[in-house]
Amino acid sequence: MEELKVLLVDDEKEFVSTLAERLQLRGIHATTASEGEEALRLIEADPPQVVVLDIMMPGLGGMDVLKRIKAQHPQIRVILLTGQGSPKDGVEGIRLGAFDCLMKPLRIDEFIGKIREAVQAGKTGGGKRAK
């Protein structure tokens, strides 16, 4: 079975570090970035199957990162995260090409299920989902 590669992008460094550890324990290779430009550099160097991207970040925000990912790497599935955004942000993200938008705090088993669903959709050519 192919190892899943996920890039976690969030300016809350402790959050992404802990989330990466939890994914690693479940056999998912997770890399982290704490800002948008860093995430784009990591994607260029070693594209993941899924990017989990916080919407609200200083500097290059999540929606701008999403647009650039979809323009340069349309095969990468993007799952947006928000802890303070509105449902409107999620709808806009889906419109821009995100696979889904999840609210923080995350339930780890549901989160991993969503990552696997995104990877499977990428293999079958499945499109976007709205919640």
- pLDDT tens-digit series, residues 74-104: 999 999 998 876 778 888 999 999 999 999 8
- pLDDT value, residue 36: 97
Domain boundaries, the chain: 4-123
Give 16-69 pLDDT, tens digit per residue.
Answer: 999 999 999 999 999 999 999 999 999 999 999 999 999 999 999 999 999 999
- pLDDT value, residue 64: 97
- pLDDT value, residue 130: 39
Judge whether residue 1 has pLDDT over 60.
no
CATH of region 4-123? 3.40.50.2300
Judge whether residue 128 has pLDDT over 70.
no
Please report which helix (H) or strand (E) contains residue 29, including its range. strand 28-33
The more confidently predicted of residues 1 and 111 is 111
- pLDDT value, residue 131: 39
Which pTM value belongs to this model?
0.91
